[in-house]
Structure 1
């Protein structure tokens, strides 16, 4: 039986219209790719790092979202639908609206997805306001409302080692809240608890040291080797080596559990140990079994922290490697660079840059970027958002 015909083909097809997808499409055009297609159903584009500042009362939602149509490069053919299957042998992507799109090379940048089902009751708690999360964009203002309203009681913040987008930046709303409570004179009346399911908050020793300094400064209790297993009414259910525990809370901020988009595993693009995320050579960003498929961002099993700073490096490598692979040249290598900006107050920030071996890789030589400073806060709050909208999404960085 002959294969079903395709409705459209592109020299390079990009799946996903977030940071990675849009900037890849834009850079491909700038590097001379004659025909770029984009598959993404989103109507709104979010600059997600600012969601934490919304939760800290330092930013409005309107500053971090724009119509998707305004950021898709005009010369990119935008398929306003979702990818539901990839056939690597036929080099075809099937979409939710039934469209079949052929490709020469395919760049997968679909991101990760919240999976509240992993923690029973958590999704419902965020929806009805019993819990909050800056990671849920539309609900981010609720974080600041509850922080302002809390004058005493127990505030619980969570961090976990599972796949997540910008994992360490979940510390931002906690530190900004503590700084606000200190300024309001109520911090001593609030029991702030950080629940961490491992023995370390960060894999890099120098960054861990900086974090611990500020945890101690605010008097935050750290519950190590403790996982959140459920949320019931205004009680968070924990599991530690000592057994289960029920901890009542007055404020609960959650880092969502994540999962990979289902079509990756359904299409056989994952591998043993990737937990449904796309298998990929972590240095060349090429799929190990399908040489015309490339994987970047939160949807790929890259063995490094999932951050926007890391994604910028990945985009440059993947665009260059598509060119090199077509010419039979040696592929460029991505060293796993990533960056986790952590606000330590409402006006200072630690800028930890590191690679997949947990080695510090500062962009500015001889400067301790991990040390919390006002200048890094200004960069993160104002310079990077401007760079994102005007440079990164246009393929200029």
Structure 2
């Protein structure tokens, strides 16, 4: 094997975190940035829920990855297979080896349907829908529109989950769609939520509950779907296990860590394979020149695009500070909970690791659902994403 090229900074992953980190590094003067990513298409994931419920067009969702690679960044169009954290060397699926003086680990999380028996067959049969997978979005929209009566069960599970609060979006948008069609009174809607509370922040929880009550949704906390067999859904909750019939099941997919992390010995004990990381500096605790952003890291609830934007800014700055021997900046666990409560209204809650409400917008109450926040989430943020975040400008 030829000698591996050593980039000044090597980024693994070409999603939101990876592309924006690479772009920001270049804008901050890093002359040699490498990016490892095999996919030729880039999906703006928050828009999936709007496409899957008929509120956005599929052509707004995806752009060619080649059009988003920042100028001057070397794109290694292959998958990372294993990382030698001591040498900071990455073995790739195409047989190549790439190294970095620093590595930014941003491979995201992966959906693992094997953790929910029967889910894939239920999706294929049309009993189940999900707005978290772009290949399922058209089917989801069609099934929601066609539902005129019966029983619908929507699922929200605990961490790890990518964009946890967005799992409420398909439930609320579907309910509003059915209300507008005059069919909501003929549909029994149940929310199955794995956590003991609807949300750990009291003000956000209260807003979610207000809209669930308005739509007449039955809520089962501490309960999860364990399997699906046709229209038979097995639920496990405080009272034990029970089987219920459902005409429609809205699935929040089970997420797992990329195999790359555990295979490279970078996972934290008890994390299920997610990357060990100092939650404040975003540095790997054993390998100080490996940095972690996004869903692949063991960062608790901070698995949203808003959180990722803060993490990327901090990691890029901390690489500079670490090289200069200066104290590192600290991440406070900021994240955001954009919850669509209707087809054209949204709650935009922000909070940090201490579960304190944060406010970045110049208004008295972002948590109270408003059409203004819907316009921001549906129309404003996609443009900000494509033209500013992925270009390292925000």
> Shared fold (TM-score greater than 0.5)?
yes
**1:345 lines up with 2:342 in the alignment:** yes
Taking only aligned residues, the RMSD between alpha carbons, in angstroms, comes to 1.0
Contact 1:304 1:355 (C-alpha < 8 Å) held by counterparts: no
Partner secondary structure for residue 343 of structure 1? strand
Where does structure 1 lack aligned partners over 5 or more consecutive residues?
Answer: none
In the alignment of these two chains, the number of paired residues is 394
| Aligned pair partner of 1:176 in 173, 177, 187 | 173
2:92 matches 1:103: no
Pick from 287, 294, 298 the counterpart of residue 297 of structure 1: 294
Map 1:122-201 → 2, pairs under 5 A = 122-201=119-198
Residue 267 of structure 2 is matched in structure 1 by: 270
Counterpart contact for 1:6–1:102, Cα < 8 Å: no
**3-state secondary structure, aligned to 2:71:** coil
Larger deviation, residues 233-242 vs 63-72: 233-242
Runs of 4+ residues deviating >4 angstroms: none
Corresponding residue of 2:243 = 246
1:41 and 2:38 aligned:
yes
In the alignment, the residues of structure 2 paired with residue 235 and residue 124 of structure 1 have an alpha-carbon distance, to the nearest angstrom, of: 12
Moved more, 207-216 or 270-279: 270-279
The answer to whether the aligner puts 1:27 opposite 2:24 as a matched pair is yes
CA distance in structure 2 between the partners assigned to 1:42 and 1:127 by the alignment? 24
Which structure 2 residue ranges, 5 or more long, are not aligned? none
Pick aligned residue for 1:11 from 8, 21, 39 = 8
Does the aligned pair in 1 maintain the 2:268–2:298 contact within 8 Å? Answer: no
Q: C-alpha distance in 2, partners of 1:140/1:358?
A: 32
Distance in 2 (alpha carbons) for counterparts of 1:247 and 1:292: 50
CA deviation profile, 1:81-137 (whole Å, cap 9, x unmatched):
111111011120111111111110000000000011111111222234221100011
Provide the C-alpha distance between the structure 1 equivalents of 2:208 and 2:187, rounded to a whole number of angstroms: 20
CA drift at 1:65: 0.3
TM-score by length of 1: 0.97
**Equivalent residue for 1:258, pick from 255, 260, 268:** 255
Q: Is the 8 A contact 1:167 1:305 kept in 2?
A: no
Tell me the CA shift for residue 32 of structure 1.
Answer: 0.3
Please point out which of 206, 213, 218 is paired with 1:209: 206
- C-alpha separation between the residues in 2 aligned to 1:190 and 1:383? 33
**CA displacement, residues 34-78 of structure 1 (integer Å, 9 cap, x when unaligned):** 100000001110000000001221111110101110111131100
Matched, 1:77 2:74: yes
1:364 aligns with 361
User: Is contact 1:6-1:92 (8 Å) kept?
Assistant: no
Distance 1:232 1:6 in 2: 53
- CA drift of 1:365 comes to 5.0
Deviation of 1:263 (Å): 1.2
Match of residue 89 from structure 1: 86
Matches of 1:366 and 1:177, distance apart in 2: 28
**Partners of 1:338 and 1:353 within 8 A in 2:** yes
Equivalents in 2 of 1:169, 1:229: separation in Å? 21
Greater Cα shift, 231-240 or 208-217: 231-240
Q: TM-score, normalised by structure 2?
A: 0.98
